[in-house]
């Protein structure tokens, strides 16, 4: 009867039954009902959790974060010892997570782009090798890769003590000493050190800050130099030579710092049980980083390949017709367009890599899962709080990365006007 | 249609959650109804708890499982062994995955109070030590400054280690491992200079090496590690049953009751304490919801405390632990069962 509402101008007066029988309102009714049920389910789950915890005599309480942690963490980017709080231990873990994720994202991107491009190469051997790489790493679980690479490090390399005594092993190039715990590498120290910038207990060497500032300045200046060259080219038809300016921008500051502050290498030496003096890069970090990069790199290679294949062949032919070399064609014509296709799936690969880094626990790399979600939860018995905190932290990391990458995506995507 | 599916899903979730509630309450009734004791044990620590090639568990901690199962269910074989790592053990107990946790766990204040566990007694008085290869040329833990040390994460030993090195103003590099098996592998691969855990665990681990004689346990014992079975806080009757089963094993040794002379003594013994223990007089078992023969069956399962010790970790076994603190109080040790009265 009321199934098809009359289209006449006088709208029928609202009746309650219209919520079900009137198409105009029905979808709204269903949405409201589903939403109420969903809220009921959520509140019931929360209530159930709290009730069950109360039965076990447990409450939700985050004050444990301010108690003394009491345990040591092998890998730390900020100073930490066993007298610090669980909160600081969690921070150490979080920074370790971000550190290995950042290193992993960079390496995976480089690896993925190279492998993706080479897989389309006309060189039969190179293309096949890349196919083998992609298929092997894409189709074996990441955890196995982490364990295999870590096992290779611990089983193949010698113990630190084998670098001592009569039949001592030679250090690689006299500088590096791979051992079954870490690889000892030389560190750079300054004869006339400008000191450190201390923020609380965190000490950042001024040299590192200077290095970063000069690097960023070099990037900005390089853009300006190139833009100027472009302008000149557009008006006169001649592009001034810029390569030596660009080279100088990146090479002169480090050399200057090197000479002014008298930098030199400190070669690690075996003292007591372990190497001292240089930097000991943990095998667990290297194994995790390699595995994450190789694994995610294989996926990125496929994304890059798909992106390149998405660009019409006519573009390549047009570029060749204009006389561009294959390298230029790839860099100036194909890749910029392919980026539009590549970026969105690339974001999700980055997010995967960050979340996968929690497998660090398999090789004893103390990331967020290892400190907050592992030892802290265990020593305090606050599983619920620990897991909730970890979920919140991983969620915020992922959403932040997404947000930043989306801004980038909006910049490179096709502008429609 | 969508709403129906949704309601169905909600109802299913509700049902599953309802099942979750059942984990609470009367453990004794649940064990009896299930006909099986769920016992949380170490995934593999020779002498304390380890499965053989046929999947049969044996060891010092396993004997507690068997005794409790015999006392409660009348059959020492009605145990389901659930291996739990250092990280998962207390969660496993709290969530009802196991009924009792004899898993060489240290009795500490915060575990007893904040973690809502109840340690029902001590079945092994232990202390933390260091295992090093002889070739390292180290004779004291004080010489371990700068060493790399393998440590099981989530244990009290992790905290003791940090405290000990701090107190002695020494540095060390921890290598975090998850289980004893992993620790053994890392230690033998030379990824750490020393391995630290309870001295009994070190002895058990060393016994499993190809060349045990190439490794030494350093003389320093850096902590007190009273190891005992734990149950969930709140079920006092169940705690009583596990506690007095352990005491029955200890008391049996004190009074000379062994698995060999048990039957004979239950008929002929003139010692009133033995009579009460074995249920010949005063039906003690009834007071905690069991029958009169509960302790007899518990002792029959693998013998009294001394027999269990000798068979699993004693000096005649590859592990070769002396009784030491774990001798009866009459022999100068700390094993002291409360009176059966």
| Integer Rg of chain B from CA | 22
Residue numbers in B near A30 (CB within 8 A)? 2-3
Asked if pLDDT for residue B4 goes beyond 70, the answer is no
3-state secondary structure at position A182: strand
What is the pTM for the complete model shown? 0.80
Q: How much is the average pLDDT of B19-30?
A: 66
Compute the average pLDDT of residues B282-303. 92
Q: Which residues contact A110 (CB under 8 A, 6 or more apart)?
A: A297
Q: Report B:182-211 residues touching A (Cβ under 8 A).
A: 186, 189-193
**Burial status of residue A219 (CB atoms within 10 A of its CB: 0-12, 13-18, 19 or more):** exposed
Nearest to A142 by CA among A346, A281, A299, A373: A299
Kind plus residue range of the DSSP H or E element containing A25: helix A23-55
Residue pLDDT, tens place only, B72-104: 999 999 999 999 988 788 889 988 899 999 998
Closest CA to A75 of A94, A49, A51: A94
Fold agreement (B27-125+227-331, B128-223): yes
How far is the C-alpha of B171 from the C-alpha of A360, rounded, in Å? 24
The closest of B130, B120, B118, B109 to B90, measured between CA atoms, is B118
Query: pLDDT tens-digit profile of A52-106?
Result: 878 777 778 889 999 999 899 888 888 898 899 999 999 999 999 999 999 999 9
- What's residue A9's pLDDT? 64
Angstrom distance (rounded) from CA A301 to CA A112: 4
Facing residue for B153 by CB, picked from A37, A180, A374: A374
Per the model's pLDDT, the better-predicted residue between A42 and A262 turns out to be A42
**Count helices and strands in chain B by DSSP H and E runs:** 13, 13
Position B18 scores a pLDDT of 42
Give yes or no for a contact between B222 and B170, defined as CB atoms under 8 angstroms apart. no
Picking from B171, B146, B151, the residue whose alpha carbon sits closest to that of residue A273 is B146
Average pLDDT on A331-360 reads 91
For chain B, the domains span 27-125+227-331, 128-223
Residue with the two structure tokens 């030993």: B157
> What is the maximum alpha-carbon separation in chain B?
77
How high is the pLDDT of residue A8? 59
Tell me how far CA of residue A233 lies from CA of A225, A322, A358, B10, B124, in angstroms: 12, 18, 50, 68, 85
Tell me if B175 and A37 make a contact (CB, 8 A cut-off). Answer: no
Structure tokens belonging to residue B200 = 């009994």
Number of Cβ within 10 Å of residue A142's Cβ equals 20
DSSP 8-state secondary structure symbol assigned to residue A171: P
How many Cα neighbours within 13 Å face the side chain of B179? 16
Which structure tokens are listed for A315? 């573009």
- Residue A239 and residue A241: Cα distance in Å, rounded? 6
Contact B287, B296 (CB under 8 A): no
Asked if residue A169 has pLDDT above 90, the reply is no
pLDDT band at B6; cut points 50, 70, 90:
very low
Contact criterion met (CB below 8 Å) for B180 and B44: yes
Tally Cβ neighbours within 10 Å of residue A377: 25
Cα radius of gyration (chain A): 29
Predicted pLDDT at A6: 52
pLDDT of B2 strictly over 50: no
Enter the tokens of residue B205: 């681990």
Burial status of residue A229 (CB atoms within 10 A of its CB: 0-12, 13-18, 19 or more): middle
Q: Does any CB of chain B come closer than 8 Å to the CB of residue A277?
A: no
Whole-number Å distance between alpha carbons of B234 and A119: 64
- Superfamily grouping for domain B27-125+227-331: Periplasmic binding protein-like II (3.40.190.10)
Structure tokens at B48: 């304390």
Instruction: Tell me what pLDDT residue B115 has.
Output: 83
Residues of A in contact with B175 (CB under 8 A): 74, 181, 364
Q: Does A59 touch chain B (CB under 8 A)?
A: no
Contacts of B41 (CB under 8 A, 6+ apart): B49, B57, B59, B61, B62, B65, B81, B82, B83, B84, B102, B103
Q: How far is A3 from chain B (nearest CA, A)?
A: 19
Q: What is the pLDDT of residue A44?
A: 94
Q: How far apart are the C-alpha atoms of B207 and B210, rounded to whole Å? A: 8
Contacts of B154 in chain A (CB under 8 A): 374-375, 378-379
Q: Which pLDDT belongs to residue B3?
A: 45
Nearest CA in chain A to B232: A56
Instruction: Please report the sign of the dihedral spanned by the C-alpha atoms of residue A156, residue A99, residue A105, residue A331.
Output: negative
pLDDT band per the 50, 70, 90 thresholds, residue B1: very low
| Lookup result for tokens 């107190």 | B167
CA nearest A116: which of A364, A299, A340, A388?
A: A299
Quick one: pLDDT at residue A35?
95
For residues B46 and B90, the answer to whether their CB atoms sit within 8 Å is no
CA distance A213 to A230: 26
Q: Is pLDDT above 50 for A255?
A: yes
The predicted pLDDT at position B237 comes to: 94
Residue A195 Cα, gap to closest chain B Cα (Å): 25
**Distance (Å, rounded) from C-alpha B74 to C-alpha B66?**
10
Angle between helix A283-309 and helix A335-356 axes, rounded to 10 deg? 150
Q: Domain B128-223's class?
A: alpha beta
Q: Does A71 touch chain B (CB under 8 A)?
A: yes
**Domain spans of chain A, in order of start:** 1-55, 60-139+285-417, 187-266
Rounded Cα distance, B131 and B154, in Å: 19
DSSP B153: T
pLDDT band (50, 70, 90) for residue A7 = low
Candidates A294, A15, A296, A263; CA nearest to A149 is A294
Share of chain B above pLDDT 70, in %: 93
Residue A159 distance to chain B (closest CA, Å): 6
Asked if the Cβ–Cβ distance from A58 to B91 is below 8 Å, we say no
Predicted confidence (pLDDT) at residue B17 exceeds the cutoff of 60: no
Please tell me which of the candidates B90, B144, B148 has its beta carbon nearest to residue A381: B90
Nearest in space to A75 (alpha carbons), one of A282, A355, A275 = A282
What average pLDDT does this structure show over A389-407?
A: 93
Q: Hey, is A386 helix, strand or coil? A: helix
Say which of B20, B114, B153 has its CB closest to residue A375.
B153
Chain B interface mutation, best of A29, A41, A379, A385, highest count of B Cβ atoms under 10 Å: A379
pLDDT over 80 (residue A220): yes
Q: Answer for the pair B305, B121: CB distance below 8 angstroms, yes or no.
A: no
Is B49 strand, coil or helix? strand
Residue B203: alpha-carbon gap to chain centroid: 16
Mean pLDDT of chain B: 88
Identify the pLDDT of residue A81.
87
Q: pLDDT tens digits, residue range B108-124?
A: 998 898 888 999 999 99
pLDDT, one tens digit per residue, over B130-158 is 999 998 889 999 999 989 999 988 788 88
Helical (H) or strand (E) element with B276: helix B272-277
CATH of A60-139+285-417, one of 3.30.565.10, 2.60.40.3950, 3.90.228.20, 1.10.3720.10: 1.10.3720.10
Say if A271 is an interface residue toward chain B (CB within 8 Å).
Answer: yes
pLDDT at residue B16 greater than cutoff 80: no
How far apart, in Å, do the first and last CA atoms of chain A sit?
A: 48
Using a CB-CB distance cutoff of 8 angstroms, which residues of chain B are in contact with residue A366? 176
Query: In this predicted model, what pLDDT tens digit does every residue of B212-233 receive, in sequence order?
Result: 899 999 988 999 999 999 999 8
Q: Determine the Cα–Cα distance for residues A243 and B54; give it in Å rounded to an integer.
A: 72
pLDDT score recorded for residue B21: 40
Mean predicted lDDT score pLDDT of chain A = 87
Lowest mean pLDDT among A264-278, A324-338, A370-384, B48-62: A264-278
Predicted confidence (pLDDT) per residue in A96-151, tens digit: 999 999 999 999 999 999 999 999 888 999 999 999 999 999 999 999 999 999 98
Q: How far apart are CA B198 and CA B215, in angstroms?
A: 16
In angstroms, rounded to a whole number, what is the distance separating the alpha carbons of residues B8 and B30? Answer: 29
Residue A56 touches chain B, beta carbons under 8 Å: yes
- What's the distance, CA A92 to chain centroid? 17
Q: What does the pLDDT read at residue A159? A: 83
Where is average pLDDT lowest: A308-312, A409-413, B66-70, B239-243?
A409-413
Torsional class of A200: left (φ above 0), alpha (ψ -120 to 50), beta (otherwise): left
DSSP B122: -
The 10 Å Cβ neighbour count of residue B25 is 14
């Amino acid at each position: 009867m009321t199934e098809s509402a009359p289209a006449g101008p006088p709208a029928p007066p609202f009746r309650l039954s219209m919520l079900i029988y009137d198409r105009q309102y029905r979808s709204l009714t269903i949405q409201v009902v589903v939403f109420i049920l969903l809220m009921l389910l959520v509140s019931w789950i929360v209530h159930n959790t709290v009730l069950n915890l109360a039965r076990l005599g447990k409450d939700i309480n985050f004050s444990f974060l301010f108690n003394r942690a009491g345990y040591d963490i092998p890998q730390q980017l900020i100073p930490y010892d066993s007298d610090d709080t669980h909160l600081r231990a969690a921070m150490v873990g979080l920074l370790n997570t971000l550190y290995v994720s950042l290193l992993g994202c960079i390496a995976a991107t480089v690896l993925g782009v190279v492998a993706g491009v080479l897989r389309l190469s006309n060189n039969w051997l190179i293309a096949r090798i890349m196919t083998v790489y992609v298929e092997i790493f894409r189709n074996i679980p990441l955890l196995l890769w982490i364990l295999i690479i870590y096992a290779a490090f611990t089983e193949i390399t010698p113990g630190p003590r084998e670098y001592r005594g009569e039949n001592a092993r030679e250090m690689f190039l006299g500088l590096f000493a791979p051992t079954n715990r870490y690889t000892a590498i030389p560190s750079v120290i300054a004869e006339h050190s400008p000191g450190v910038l201390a923020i609380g207990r965190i000490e950042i060497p001024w040299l590192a800050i200077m290095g970063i500032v000069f690097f960023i300045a070099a990037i900005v200046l390089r853009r300006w130099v190139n833009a100027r060259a472009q302008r000149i080219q557009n008006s006169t038809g001649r592009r001034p030579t810029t390569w030596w300016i660009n080279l100088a921008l990146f090479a002169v500051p480090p050399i200057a710092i090197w000479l002014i502050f008298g930098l030199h290498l400190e070669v690690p030496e075996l003292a007591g049980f372990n190497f001292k003096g240089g930097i000991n890069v943990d095998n667990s970090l290297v194994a995790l980083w390699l595995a994450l990069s190789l694994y995610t790199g294989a996926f990125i290679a496929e994304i890059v390949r798909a992106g390149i294949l998405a660009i019409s062949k006519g573009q390549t032919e047009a570029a060749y017709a204009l006389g561009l070399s294959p390298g230029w064609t790839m860099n100036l014509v194909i890749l910029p367009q392919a980026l539009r296709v590549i970026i969105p799936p690339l974001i999700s690969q980055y997010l995967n890599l960050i979340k996968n880094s929690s497998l660090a626990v398999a090789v004893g790399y103390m990331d967020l899962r290892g400190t907050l979600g592992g030892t802290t939860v265990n020593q305090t018995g606050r599983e619920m709080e620990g897991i909730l905190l970890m979920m919140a932290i991983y969620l915020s990391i992922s959403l932040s990365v997404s947000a930043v990458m989306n801004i980038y995506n909006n910049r490179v995507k096709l502008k429609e006007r | 249609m969508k709403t129906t599916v949704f309601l169905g899903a909600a109802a299913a979730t509700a049902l599953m959650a309802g099942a979750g509630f059942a984990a609470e309450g009367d453990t004794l009734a649940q064990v009896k109804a299930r006909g099986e004791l769920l016992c949380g044990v170490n995934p593999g620590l020779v002498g304390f708890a380890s499965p053989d090639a046929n999947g049969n568990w044996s060891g010092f901690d396993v004997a507690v499982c068997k005794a409790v199962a015999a006392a409660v269910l009348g059959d020492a074989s009605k145990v389901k062994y659930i291996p739990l790592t250092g990280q998962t053990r207390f969660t496993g107990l709290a969530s009802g995955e196991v009924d009792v946790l004899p898993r060489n766990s240290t009795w500490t204040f915060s575990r007893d109070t904040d973690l809502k566990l109840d340690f029902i007694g001590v079945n092994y008085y232990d202390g933390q030590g260091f295992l090093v290869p002889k070739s390292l040329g180290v004779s004291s833990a004080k010489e371990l400054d700068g060493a790399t040390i393998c440590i099981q994460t989530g244990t009290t030993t992790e905290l003791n280690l940090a405290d000990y090195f701090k107190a002695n103003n020494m540095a060390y590099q921890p290598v975090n491992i998850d289980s004893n098996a992993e620790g053994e592998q890392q230690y033998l691969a030379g990824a750490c200079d020393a391995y630290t855990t309870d001295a009994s665990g070190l002895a058990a681990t060393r016994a499993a090496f190809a060349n045990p004689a190439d490794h030494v346990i350093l003389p320093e014992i850096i902590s007190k590690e009273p190891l005992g079975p734990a149950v969930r806080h709140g079920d006092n009757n169940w705690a009583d049953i596990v506690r007095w089963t352990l005491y029955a094993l200890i008391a049996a040794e004190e009074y000379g009751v062994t698995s060999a002379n048990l039957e004979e003594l239950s008929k002929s013994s003139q010692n009133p304490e033995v009579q009460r223990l074995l249920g010949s007089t005063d039906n003690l078992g009834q007071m905690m919801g069991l029958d009169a023969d509960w302790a007899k069956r518990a002792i029959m399962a693998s013998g009294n405390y001394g027999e269990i010790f000798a068979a699993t970790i004693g000096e005649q076994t590859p592990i070769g632990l002396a009784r030491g603190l774990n001798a009866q109080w009459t022999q100068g040790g700390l094993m002291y069962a409360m009176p059966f009265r």
